Chains A and B, each alone.
Chain A
Amino acid sequence: MASAAAERTPLKFQDDALLWAAWLYYEEGLTQGDIAKAMNVSRPTVNSYLAEARASGIVNISISGERLKSLSVAQQLQAHFGLQECLVIPGEGGARSLIDRLGAAGGQALASLIQSGDTVAITWGRTMLSVARAASAHVPALTDLRVVQATGGTTAVIPYTPEACASQLAESLDARCIPISAPAILSSSAARSLLLSEPVIAEQFATLAAVNRIIFGISSLRPDSTIHESGFFDSSLEQHDHYRNAVGSIAGRFFDANGIPVDGPLGDRTVAIDLESLRDIKTRIAVAGGYDKVPAMLAALRGQFVSVLITDAATGEAILHADGVETPRLRSSNRWPKPEKSALPERTRVKKFLNSPRDAVLESLEGALSTYPQFIQPIGDSRRALQTAAPPREGKVGLVIGGGAGHEPAFLGYVGRGLADAVAVGNVFASPPPDRIVRCTRAASQGAGVLYIYGNYTGDIMNFDMAAELAGADGIDVRTIVTTDDVASSAAENRESRRGTAGSVFVFKIAGAACDRLYDLDDCERLARRANDATFSMGIGLEASSLPETRRPTFQIAAGDMEVGVGIHGEPGAAREEITTADLAVDRMCDRLFSEMNLVAGERVAMLVNSLGGTPMMELFIIARRLRERIEARNAVPLRNFVGHYCTSLDMVGASVSLMKLDDELLELLDHPCAGFGLQVAAHSTAW
């Protein structure tokens, strides 16, 4: 080997010994000894080559972001809750369900946690059955194992009964299975004493005392949890009352938010290991995940029922947050950390043109009324219930809109001929109260019924519903349409729980046109619904808005971040991401919007680029330009454009994009003339 030729660095390594050594080690998988021979140097030299290769950046060792995150969450959970072991799987796992993935992780973990001669208890539930099934693929052959049911039996309508879980685990581990031949819940404590005095059952139950490992799931007490489905609770209210303070359950036993066992009438009717005994078991392996379980899992950790936790990254992180632990956010550029604080001071007190913050809404309305008397006027002496300046027309369906202040020109800018007849204005970001809405309803009613259109928010719904009841008592037929255009606020299958944002303007416009053409109430309602169904919006925030009262941003967006899926009330959005270019930001919105609305070639759309308050027209046009490019790249047709301040969120820096799919009828109504100070369409104009 010691020939001169062997010492020469092969050409492809460009005479770089470090690169050669690194290649042989990392790519070809040679040992350091083999490399020493190949390069004709000593082994310590190879070792120092490799170290230098890493130090100089020839070799970058990176762990994939998802894995790294799991690892970091696991480390924090282990340290914070004093766990023996913690295994965290990535939060996202493609097509496999969380339960499948947790089961696989549990099975894998058992390989290092179970030894020959162990007595292993297992509870029941979907996750447990999944763990029991997965164990066979991971756990090596062991001897003298026993698997025991941690509880008696439950209803057989579920496939993941205690019997099923225990026998499956025993089969997977090639262990002896010890069942508990009694129901988990008995009708009385006397029945329990009687059954437990039966020698066979007493012997089975005594095995629980010998358990040195237990695998269990953690059930939340939410209505759809396993504990309810397996028939543990009969639904008597009296029984629930005893467990009011309980937040979770393990093996049919209940505990409160601090992990203190909660006793109730079920206690002495339950055939299952009790929580005190559970805590004495050497290895206590909890396998659980899902946001609904966070309070239960946190309580179980506080109660020290868990010594080994197996969960997913998202749940793990949520548990840490719930217990007040900050988790570092990992970003793609983590290797090159940016300075956390910018050199500029943070915006702490925002400057505003105000007299007294409490008068802001009223003074602003006074200004709007005196500026635009041709569009809006007060209803009676109220300056917060406004109506159109256009003369009333007999037989016209009335359109009432409304919402909080702070969205100007929404909503009062959409009152006028061809738009809404009246608007109820609340405090900043707060729904108007019912009496004000009723006032608007009476003013708008011309005997043909009244349509309410407003954004989908809990407060607005409660206030408008109460108003509709009151107006109904007056004999006014009120129909309600709640706008739900914001795609970021909920999944597509949950369309009815989405927020109403800038896309509401399209719905006001269509409904206003239908009312102006004297369509009947059914038709106006139908068309407004169709407009809402055809409209999709998404927003990105760059700086949070600040309320007149506090003059502080409602939340912080760090220097390098943007808030994706932001709404119109300064509330945080769906996700925090790294800030990017205008085009990429528009692309981010387009990708989601196009797929949601299933935009295909040849379709016509109206587009609305909206400032959330603090973003100037100049930037809106940059956004509009890219949006048009993207629509055209799909071979769809952007027929109508709106760019400007349509529905703002005070001074939030950011923008939203709304698209409405057009059919002939919607297009015709969109082109119908209208005159409000927020939106004007001239007669006989089809292109503006």
Chain B
Amino acid sequence: MAELDSDFIARFFRDAAIRLEERRDELCQLDGFVGDGDHGTSMANGFAALTELVRGSSSHARGPAALLREAADRFLSHVGATVGPLYATGLLDTAQAMEKDAPWQVREFPRFMAGIARGIARRGKAGQGDKTMLDAWLPATRAAQASLARGASAAEAARDACEAAAEGARATASMIASRGRAARLKERSIGHRDPGAVSAAIIIEALAETVEATPEAH
């Protein structure tokens, strides 16, 4: 089985950056309903900065955990905003987990997701049902873990994670925000999907695609 190495992470960053760039406007518009309309900009610029980081072959010289640490720094200093600290902490927590027992196999990608979700929850002090990006990250992580436990292939688990993330993002429409700027809208936030959950689903799509593109994942 292939390792979840720096090359894997580089491919994941690039794929996520392309998808987020494509949907930059849509995310901004979504954020306009409940926030200040900058979410697409922050996410697309943030992942573009990560792509910059892994351009060429220099990324391959570093171990994956070191790369994630650097990515956390880069994301934070390029984005700021609300998502900066959240994803930076997510990447950092994943790096810390990885340092304990690297290398991870691609099959272990749910641990990667769990690390990001844990960091986001820690920094944002939010949980599931708060109408945040965690409403995509948490169910997607659990879905991936569950399908692997059932004996599914990594590729199948990745697809399940993808679906759970999309479903989770959709479900935020019925929730009332209790964190972040949308919380001040109270009931007026109902009926709109949370832009953070939608972008999380896009990132998870990219991660799933990267897993599926690994030949041994099937």
> What is A's interface to B at a CB cutoff of 8 Å?
221-222, 244-245, 247, 257, 291-292, 294-295, 298, 314, 318-319, 321-324, 404, 426-436, 457-459, 462-463, 466, 489-490, 497, 499, 544, 547, 549-550, 552-555, 567, 569-572, 574
Give 17 A-B pairs besides A295-B129, A319-B174, A430-B84 with Cβ atoms closer than 8 angstroms. A294-B176, A295-B171, A298-B174, A318-B187, A404-B81, A428-B38, A430-B36, A433-B84, A436-B77, A458-B181, A459-B82, A497-B184, A550-B25, A571-B34, A572-B34, A572-B188, A574-B184
Chain B positions 163 through 200: 1 when the CB is less than 8 Å from some CB of chain A, otherwise 0: 00000000101111001110111111011000000000
**Is B28 an interface residue, CB under 8 A from the partner?**
yes
Sorted nearest first, the 9 A-B pairs with minimum C-beta distance are A321-B191, A459-B82, A430-B81, A554-B32, A569-B36, A322-B174, A554-B37, A433-B80, A462-B85
Partner of B190, one of A291, A462, A490, A544: A291
Tell me whether B81 and A426 are in contact (CB under 8 A). yes
CB distance from A309 to the nearest CB of B (A): 16
Chain A residues, Cβ within 8 Å of B96 = none
CA of A46 to CA of B35, assembled, Å: 59
Nearest to B192 among chain A residues (CB) is: A321
Partner of A571, one of B35, B41, B83: B35
Chain B contact residues: helix, strand, loop or mixed: helix
Chain B residues, Cβ within 8 Å of A466 = 76, 85
In the complex, chain B residues 138-166 whose Cβ is within 8 Å of any chain A Cβ: 138-139, 142
Chain B residues, Cβ within 8 Å of A433 = 76-80, 84
In the complex, chain B residues 31-77 whose Cβ is within 8 Å of any chain A Cβ: 31-38, 40-42, 45, 76-77
Cross-chain pairs A/B with CB under 8 angstroms, 5 sampled: A294-B174, A431-B80, A431-B82, A434-B85, A570-B37
Nearest to A426 among chain B residues (CB) is: B80
Tell me whether B80 and A318 are in contact (CB under 8 A). no
Tell me whether A314 and B187 are in contact (CB under 8 A). yes
Say whether, besides A257-B171, A430-B38, A458 and B179 are in contact (CB < 8 Å): yes
Chain A residues, Cβ within 8 Å of B82 = 430-431, 457-459, 462
Partner of B36, one of A245, A432, A570: A570
Chain A residues, Cβ within 8 Å of B85 = 434, 459, 462-463, 466
Tell me whether A429 and B36 are in contact (CB under 8 A). yes
Chain B residues, Cβ within 8 Å of A497 = 183-184
Tell me whether B184 and A549 are in contact (CB under 8 A). no
CA of A547 to CA of B39, assembled, Å: 11
Tell me whether B173 and A432 are in contact (CB under 8 A). no
Give the B interface residue count (CB, 8 A). 50
CA of A544 to CA of B184, assembled, Å: 17
Tell me whether A571 and B42 are in contact (CB under 8 A). no
CA of A570 to CA of B77, assembled, Å: 24
Tell me whether A321 and B80 are in contact (CB under 8 A). no
CA of A222 to CA of B124, assembled, Å: 18
Nearest to B73 among chain A residues (CB) is: A435
Chain B residues, Cβ within 8 Å of A569 = 35-37, 181
**Is B123 an interface residue, CB under 8 A from the partner?**
yes
Tell me whether B191 and A490 are in contact (CB under 8 A). no
**Is B86 an interface residue, CB under 8 A from the partner?**
yes
Tell me whether B29 and A552 are in contact (CB under 8 A). yes
CA of A221 to CA of B175, assembled, Å: 12
Tell me whether B186 and A291 are in contact (CB under 8 A). yes
CB distance from A432 to the nearest CB of B (A): 5
Chain A residues, Cβ within 8 Å of B34 = 571-572
Chain A residues, Cβ within 8 Å of B142 = 244
Tell me whether B184 and A489 are in contact (CB under 8 A). yes
CB distance from B31 to the nearest CB of A (A): 8
CA of A435 to CA of B75, assembled, Å: 12
**Is B214 an interface residue, CB under 8 A from the partner?**
no
Partner of B41, one of A427, A458, A572: A427
CA of A202 to CA of B181, assembled, Å: 53
Chain B residues, Cβ within 8 Å of A404 = 36, 38, 81
CA of A433 to CA of B87, assembled, Å: 12
CB distance from A635 to the nearest CB of B (A): 34
Tell me whether B79 and A430 are in contact (CB under 8 A). yes
CB distance from B14 to the nearest CB of A (A): 20
Say whether, besides A295-B174, A427-B80, A318 and B190 are in contact (CB < 8 Å): yes
CB distance from A266 to the nearest CB of B (A): 19
CA of A496 to CA of B175, assembled, Å: 23
Tell me whether A322 and B77 are in contact (CB under 8 A). no
CA of A462 to CA of B84, assembled, Å: 9
Say whether, besides A435-B76, A436-B77, A547-B28, A321 and B190 are in contact (CB < 8 Å): yes
CB distance from B138 to the nearest CB of A (A): 7
CA of A65 to CA of B76, assembled, Å: 50
Chain B residues, Cβ within 8 Å of A457 = 82, 181
Partner of B80, one of A295, A432, A490, A574: A432
Partner of A434, one of B76, B139, B187: B76
Say whether, besides A321-B190, A324-B191, A457-B181, A547 and B129 are in contact (CB < 8 Å): no
CB distance from A330 to the nearest CB of B (A): 16
Chain B residues, Cβ within 8 Å of A324 = 173, 191
Nearest to B188 among chain A residues (CB) is: A572
Chain A residues, Cβ within 8 Å of B40 = 549
Chain A residues, Cβ within 8 Å of B37 = 429, 547, 550, 554, 569-571
Partner of A247, one of B29, B83, B129, B181: B129
Nearest to B185 among chain A residues (CB) is: A572
CA of A21 to CA of B138, assembled, Å: 69
Tell me whether B76 and A429 are in contact (CB under 8 A). no
CA of A321 to CA of B34, assembled, Å: 14
Nearest to A244 among chain B residues (CB) is: B142
CA of A466 to CA of B28, assembled, Å: 26
CA of A292 to CA of B186, assembled, Å: 10
CB distance from A554 to the nearest CB of B (A): 3
CB distance from B106 to the nearest CB of A (A): 25
Chain B residues, Cβ within 8 Å of A244 = 128, 138-139, 142
Tell me whether B41 and A436 are in contact (CB under 8 A). no
CB distance from B90 to the nearest CB of A (A): 13
Partner of A458, one of B28, B45, B138, B180: B180
CA of A450 to CA of B148, assembled, Å: 51
Chain A residues, Cβ within 8 Å of B187 = 291, 314, 318
CB distance from B124 to the nearest CB of A (A): 8
